[in-house]
Amino acid sequence: MDTDIHLPSGRVRVRSWGADDAPILLCVHGISANLTAFSYLADRLAGTHRRVVAFDLRGRGHSEITAPGTYGLDSHARDVLAVADALDAETVDVAGWSLGALIAMRVARDSGSRLRSLSLIDHIGPAQRAALGPVREGFARLDAAVPTPAAYLDLVRTAGVVDPWTPFWDEHHTYELAQQPDGTWRPTTSRAASEEDLFQRWPTDWTDHWRALTMPTVVVRATRPLNGATLIPDDAVTAMRDTNPAIRIVDVDSNHFTCIVDPATVDAVGQTLR
């Protein structure tokens, strides 16, 4: 079920799976993705004993595009807590993918008492530049104007970063489309919002974030290279383990994109919830 929640920062679109009165797993997607990124995971984890909730970050999917200067880790972290408040949840489990993982770590650093557990899917702060290339290149689709949704899917699929392509990806990318008055179809996700997040001032040292992960935490690391490199470098994993040995690391045989539909990712998140 999709609803809109009006936060102090703007309106966000929210989707919920499972029982309304069950403990909440709140999901935060990647830099130019949308809430449907978690539909595979939600279909497998939601039920009578678990409610899975995902929302479109502002500027993405069907959430409000707010003014320049309103994005960044701190702003999105405040939105995560504001969504939890709107759901009347004092504490939540959180799963974040890519940028969403960094947002989740910022919530943990600044408001860790609100988190029961944390699942960080293929990002922990330091990143290999080569692997970020296809992520940046994915922004080009946000300028597209195409005659049909099928033409848009063809455009995204030809980038070749998703293999195998499944109906999940059809849903994921069709969701971000809207038909324009001239009959063309364009993405609703804002390239400017995505770029503001990409080019924000990033921490050079993430140890304070890692140290704050005192709740049960798993890192899912995609081991298949993207543009010749994995996103999370080996030395970052070593540094995180040295800083906080309690963090569990799970390697999955997927790349940065396909890890979100890997059964091993679902298993890792599910085990952290127990």
Q: Is the peptide bond before 164 cis (omega within 30 degrees of 0)?
A: yes
* Tens-place pLDDT, residues 181-193: 999 999 999 999 9
* Domains of the chain, earliest start first: 2-133+202-273 (3.40.50.1820)
Strand 24-28 vs strand 51-55: parallel, antiparallel, or unpaired? parallel
35 vs 164: CA distance, rounded Å = 20
Judged against a pLDDT cut of 80, whether residue 274 lies above it is answered with no
180 beta partners = none
Angle, alpha carbons 122-150-32 (nearest 5°)? 30
Which 8-state DSSP code applies to residue 60?
Answer: S
Closest CA to 98 of 38, 187, 174, 175: 38
Partners of 53 in the beta sheet? Answer: 16, 26
pLDDT greater than 80 at residue 209? yes
Per-residue pLDDT of 141-182, as tens digits, reads 999 999 999 999 999 999 888 999 999 999 999 999 999 999
User: What is the chain's mean pLDDT, rounded?
Assistant: 97
Give the C-alpha separation, 194 to 196, whole Å: 5
Minimum mean pLDDT range among 38-52, 124-138, 234-248: 124-138
**Cα–Cα distances in angstroms (integers) from residue 150 to residues 35, 83, 147, 157, in the given order:** 20, 33, 8, 10
User: pLDDT tens digit string along 131-140?
Assistant: 989 988 899 9
Nearest Cα neighbor of 7 from 69, 103, 87, 73 is 87
CA dist., res. 215 & res. 202, Å (int): 24
Rounded to two decimals, the pTM is 0.98
pLDDT at 2 over 90: yes
Give every strand in the sheet of 2-7, ordered side by side: 2-7, 10-17, 51-55, 24-28, 92-97, 115-121, 217-222, 248-252
